[in-house]
Structure 1
Amino acid sequence: MQLIDVSDYAVRSAVFTMRRKDTPLTFLLLPMVHVASPAFYAQVKGRLAECDLIVLEGVTGKSWRASVLLLAYRFAPLRRRNGLVEQTTTNVLPPGVPVLSPDVTAAEAMDELRKLPRWTYWLLLLLAPVMGLVFALRGPRAFLDPDLTVEDLPSTARAEMLADNDVEHALLGRRDERLLAALARIHTERRHEPITVAVVYGAGHMPAVVHGLLDAYNYRPRDGEWFTVYVPDP
């Protein structure tokens, strides 16, 4: 299933629902890109205002190493001509809708990364601010470069060696487990309610959500649409 579409004309995110036949609960999946145009976040916020519960990504606590990793998107909006802003709770969350955040703490996230080989761990810390500077200098066109991918953490062709199962598990594994456990509880406790539960997580987490809901509870992707993340300048 394609979650992020990158073309010469735009970067888009696939927003879609998952339902099953015998219960009314609906999951609305919103794959997020953490640096985007204000219009994208406004559209997300408008859709979330129609939901009954929001399951929100958000690592809690502080860690200087986790802060370094976040520089991958913190640098990008600094150049105003890019027209980009960083995702925040203010530009995404509507008032009045309950929010559940089952994510890990910063300390837990770094514990997972420290299980990697030392050189891989330090290379990840080095690449994040470098890629943030690339995005700040090149703007939205950086996302259209064939050597770049739209994920929770950007990668380059030179860093393809990092895209193995160990690194992916370190970055996403424990966080995906927490997310799926929360969705399982929601299904168990509220599946007979006609409510819509929004899942607002980075696009890199969504394959686990789709497969988890499908394999365990037979929720299937239904109707969907594309939200435009941004349109690059000509």
Structure 2
Amino acid sequence: MDVVEAGALGVRSAVAQLVRRGTPLRFTIYPMIHLAEPAFYAEVSRRLRGHDLIVAEGISRAPSVNQLTKAYRRTAARPRRTDPRGVRSRRADPVADMLGKEFTQKWSELPLVERLVANVAAPLTGLYLRTFGTREALACHLVTDDDTDIDDWHPELGLDRLIKDERDALLIQALTKIHEERQHEQIDVAIAWGAAHVPPIVAYLMSALGYVVIDAEWITVFDY
């Protein structure tokens, strides 16, 4: 199953529902995109209001985080670009993500060369995409599928490990706790997380906890 699909008319994100035989708890995964039409975020926000619990991505603001997100913010600066608005919901459930202070500490432990390259590359990438990038070009980089084997999932090194794998591990811990404590409750738990993080999460829920995908529905991220 594709997590994010780029077709002839635009980009779509697959909202998937997972259940486990013998227990009523349901997980609904919303693969999030940093650059999307405002309508995408509005639709996700509307749907989140119907969930009993929301597990959302979001590192508390820190200088290192702001520097790394410059690429997205600069890409979206022109009106014709997609709009990186945060998802808003009436619910305020805890965020199962790395705190800004922790991220900053781990960031400071990375090799200096890697930090310098990241600080320079992020704004330059954003400036390039803002000037020359098209929606079709962006779409090519957004395609994601769930063809991931949890047994083959190994943490990367350096920045990739910090941004993706270490944060995935925190999310897995949070979802495992929810499953263990509330699996016998008739609740629908929303997971609003970056699309690149979704494949290992789906693989974990299926292989380790016994959940299966029973339904998936497309939401338009942006069209061309």
The Cα of 1:34 is off from its aligned counterpart by 1.3
Question: Cα offset for 1:185?
Answer: 1.1
Between 9-18 and 115-124, the greater mean CA deviation after superposition? 115-124
1:216 aligns with 2:214: no
Counterpart residue number, 1:168? 160
CA distance in 1, matches of 2:79, 2:92: 33
Judged with a 3 Å threshold, the aligned counterparts in structure 2 of structure 1 residues 122 and 141 are, in CA distance, closer, same or farther, namely same
| Equivalent-residue separation in structure 2 for 1:120 and 1:214 (angstroms) | 35
Q: Any idea what SS the aligned residue of 2:58 has?
A: coil
Q: CA deviation at 1:114?
A: 4.8
> Counterpart of 1:155?
none
- With structure 1 as the length reference, what TM-score do the two structures score? 0.82
**Superposition pairs for residues 1-234 of structure 1, below 5 Å?**
1-62=1-62, 64-82=63-81, 84-88=82-86, 92-95=87-90, 97-137=91-131, 138-144=133-139, 146=140, 149-150=141-142, 165-166=156-157, 167-232=159-224
- Is the CA contact 1:56–1:102 (under 8 Å) kept in the aligned structure 2? yes
**What code does the residue aligned with 1:80 have?**
P
For structure 1, list consecutive stretches of 5 or more residues without a partner in the other structure. Answer: 152-163
Displacement of 1:94: 2.8
Aligned-residue offset at 1:3: 1.0
Output the CA distance in 2 between the equivalents of 1:172 and 1:86. Answer: 19
Q: Closer, same or farther in 2 for the Cα pair 1:122/1:150, shift >3 Å? A: farther
Deviation at 1:61, TM superposition (A): 4.2
**1:157 aligned partner:** none
**Take 1:108 and 1:8, find their aligned partners in 2: how far apart are those partners?**
41
Q: Which residue of 1 aligns with 2:152?
A: none
How many Å separate the matches in 1 of 2:109 and 2:36? 31
Shift in Å at residue 116 of structure 1? 4.6
> Does the CA contact (< 8 Å) of 2:64 and 2:107 recur in 1?
no
Contact 1:112 1:171 in 2 (8 A): no
Moved more, 121-130 or 64-73: 121-130
State the percentage of identical aligned residues: 34
Alpha carbons 1:52, 1:98 under 8 Å: kept = no
Matching residue's letter, 1:86? P
Structure number with higher relative contact order (C-alpha < 8 Å, ≥ 6 residues apart): 2
Q: Deviations over 1:105-158 (max 9, x none)?
A: 2342244445554433322222211222233233523313x5xx228xxxxxxx
Over aligned residues, Cα RMSD in angstroms?
2.1
| Structure 2: distance between partners of 1:106 and 1:184 | 23
Residues 8 and 111 of structure 1: CA distance in aligned 2, closer, same or farther (over 3 Å):
farther
CA distance in 1, matches of 2:8, 2:129: 17
Assess if the C-alpha contact under 8 Å between 1:53 and 1:100 holds in 2.
Answer: no
Q: Tell me, yes or no, if the aligned pair for 1:134 and 1:142 is still in contact at 8 Å.
A: no
Residue aligned with 2:66, SS:
helix
Q: Within 2, Cα distance between the matches of 1:140 and 1:129? A: 19
Residue 220 of structure 1 and its aligned partner are, at CA, apart by: 1.2
Instruction: Provide the rounded CA distance (Å) in 2 between the counterparts of 1:128 and 1:80.
Output: 20
TM-score norm. by structure 2 comes to 0.85
Look up the SS of the partner of 2:208 in the other structure: helix
**CA deviation after TM superposition for structure 1 residue 171, in Å:** 1.7
Which segments of 5 or more consecutive residues in structure 2 lack a partner in the other structure?
144-154
Higher mean alpha-carbon deviation, 199-208 vs 2-11, is at: 2-11
* Distance apart, 1:215 and its partner CA: 2.2
